[in-house]
Structure 1
Amino acid sequence: MQRKKIFLLLSLIIILSLSIVTAAFSLSAKNPNNEANQLQLNNVFKKVGNFLKGNKDKLQVDKGDIIAKVNNIPIYKSEFELRKGLTLASDAEISNIDNYILNKLVREKVEEHLASSYNLKVSQDEINLYIEKEKKEFADYPEANQMLQEMISASGMTSEEYWNTYEKYNVKRLLLFDKLYNTIIENGIRSGNLEKTSNTTFSTQSEYKNYVDNIIEQYVKQAKISINDKYKDMFKNFTVN
């Protein structure tokens, strides 16, 4: 049970925070005692660390060139390259990585815009509290913490830099999108489109998630997307999908 918790924790921090969804993490979470999966997960952590080591500048995700705008919200080249590098480090097999990453970011910016329309914000206190909980989770499981520290070491960052820059970027997005999800669900219940329940089952979770996904999809289709002329050749035939 403890070993399963360790791998779930490691998988969670990457899957949710980095938006890297690969067979490595899925298998490790489901089969934590499988040595092949452990080695695969270790390898991904090392690759993530090595990528970050040579790309610390990309952690400044809101500075520099702007690749595109979504509802007037900029997608900076630094954020694009950060997400691209992390996805490649996960050994994901994607045919058109540039369009794939742009698609991911377009959808996130649509969600940011929608969250703004609901006046949803994430405070620094909320970010700090979440990070402290993360730190405690890792402290409770030394094996998981050791793997995390190895990744931080490989990245060339100090623990303070990791938590105060890299992880703040992840947590802010995670908390904002969680607030948006809950707001859409609450509005769905108030409007009668969803049934309120005190017992959250797998079926209910699936229904709620599909409802939120459909709402967001409508906004994605309506989004105003403009790509900087400088990068149009890079994103030939780009479509949101």
Structure 2
Amino acid sequence: MLTPIIITFRECLEMLLIIIPLIVYLHKIYRTDLSKYIYAGSIIGIIASLISGKLLIGQVNNLEGYAEQIFLGAMMIFLAGLILYSIIWVGKQSKNFSLDINQKYNVKLTAFSLLLLSFVTIFRESLEIIMFLLPYAAEFNITIVIGIFIGILASLVLAFILFKTTIKLNITILFSILNLLLILIGGHLFGEGLYSIFPQFGESMSTAGQLIYSLPLLFIFIKRQLRKYLKK
């Protein structure tokens, strides 16, 4: 259950940190008439991601035998690569999690731009959730569903606290903790992916894959965090 909670919480929080400040900003400049385009884009994004997820899960469930193993193994390795990209490349770009509305947005406030921004945000993050949960499609059960709902609920609660109270929460620290957990998830996915593709090597392939993936990434992550705090 832990993996669905972490993945869903992180991706949903990223959505909310884009959509909610934008709605607040429109209220601040007395352009609430444009809010409907954000809601419309968000709804279209959710529908599009659900349709895409259904198609992807349907394709996975149609696979059998070794073909299913190869596909799931390749998908796990691909997802581990996504985590690697997220932590190494996006972290290098100093991704901005600021809640300062004036600093965060510098876009033309047109119906199309707001519709497109909200659609792309919701669709991209929702599709990432679906892809991360795709390897579990064959064993999709109530535990995974509960994990998804807990992740969504936790992100909504945190977003509400951030924008309705005066609490000072360092979002960067929160995402650093989530990234640390994602490294461990990525190591598990990478190891299991190798084991699915090369089952003849036994469980040792899974263990070796986890160590090869996790140890260097943990070293880079910890080194980067220490460098940030030493500068402060």
Between Structure 1 and Structure 2, the one with more helix by share is: 2
TM-score by length of 1: 0.27
TM-score by length of 2: 0.28
Higher relative contact order (CA 8 A, sep 6+): 2
Between Structure 1 and Structure 2, the one with more strand by share is: 1
